[in-house]
Structure 1
């Protein structure tokens, strides 16, 4: 397996950032999981990093159709037997993909998509994860309605200049939304560079 990145592969520095700290949390949160759906696989860099390091899991990538070629290119460059080619998942129109998933991972999505799509993501996860299922959500969040750093404030301004519907979400709003769909916060892990990794678990009762 080549460790040299071909120049034609799509690349996101955000995907490279904090992979080891994220993995250290996922190794515990997904220890008893078997099939993970990654929502918003982007370039595909997360899948090729996490899948071979969590070999007990089947890692299912997904994204918009226009990103599939890049995801497949990364998977061809760094294949793993438990890493699956991307499914089409568009939060605006797609239903939950076929297959039994007991965990979901999504990274740097909540601040990119509009809030109604964050709501739909949470509704889908809450409706389809089984009891005890785990949602891991990574990215920058505000805390108590305030930015946690000047860099996050600048990032939010840049996001909103591109799309007024995007922007950093308050972690309290995300946790409250999750609770509406039967997901309780189990862990809130501070990550380097002013990011967080939220671990939410589907209630055994299926109710908030």
Structure 2
């Protein structure tokens, strides 16, 4: 399953390392949120790491955490490994192949799970698998963090998101901007509760889930 796409990830060199232009724009706003949410230490698993730029940036800023990148696409795994090699960080583990739909996941336990810009460029079954996998490996109170464009109450939050959604569905009918309510329902079935929705730049959101029963915002 391809969980990222060349329309979003653009190779800017002839080597294995790929570069996503959006990362430079959103990595700091995402990191600001993660600083508040992540534990002081432990293992953070990223699903669909894509180029690997996000996890390398976060690992550099939060060195007390160990970071496990994953992706289903061999091109992404090579890119992640190349970026990790170039930076020499010792808290980034070797990338692992992970299809969110395939249970059980190859990582048995994590203190937090991240999925950035995944749900809209993968089939809905991948989001269902993401919730199932995260619910299976997170401890009580463990964090699942999602970032991207989402619909709220069945409606897009900006005209640009509606245009983006139509473009995604034209590329692949299985893709598309997902409803927060549908994601949260899939999460509740796996013991994951939405505890916070944070508006982000460029009409995106951070969705914060915790394993266990919490009151929704």
The TM-score normalised by the length of structure 1 is 0.90
> Residues 17-58 of structure 1: CA distance to partner in whole angstroms, max 9, x if unpaired?
211111111011103451010000000111111001011110
Q: CA shift at 1:95, angstroms?
A: 2.7
Alpha-carbon displacement from aligned partner over 1:3-22 (angstroms, at most 9, x marks no partner) = xxx73331112333211111
Q: Measure the CA separation in 2 of the matches of 1:48 and 1:203.
A: 29
The whole-number CA distance in structure 2 between the counterparts of 1:65 and 1:19 is 22
Runs (4+) of structure 1 exceeding 3 A deviation are: none
Aligned-partner Cα distance in 1 for 2:109–2:183? 24
User: How far does residue 94 in structure 1 lie from its aligned partner after superposition?
Assistant: 5.4
Unaligned runs of 5+ in 1: 1-5
Question: How does 1:45-194 map onto structure 2 within 5 Å?
Answer: 45-66=53-74, 67-93=76-102, 95-194=104-203
Q: Indicate if the aligned counterparts of 1:131 and 1:204 stay in contact, CA closer than 8 A.
A: no
Note the C-alpha offset of 1:86.
0.5
Q: Is the 8 A contact 2:101 2:130 kept in 1?
A: no
**CA distances 1:92-137 after superposition (whole Å, capped 9, x unpaired):** 4353123431110110111111111211111111122111111011
Unpaired runs of 5+ residues, structure 2, are: 1-11
CA contact (8 A) 2:47 2:100 kept: no
1:20 aligns with 2:39: no
Could you say what secondary structure the match of 2:85 adopts?
Answer: helix
**Residues 173 and 204 of structure 1: CA distance in aligned 2, closer, same or farther (over 3 Å):** closer
Q: Distance in 2 between matches of 1:79 and 1:143?
A: 40
Using the size of structure 2 for normalisation, the TM-score is 0.87
**Residues 69 and 94 in structure 2, CA contact (< 8 A), matched pair in contact too:** yes
RMSD of Structure 2 on Structure 1 (CA): 1.9
Aligned to 2:5: none
Aligned pairs, number: 201
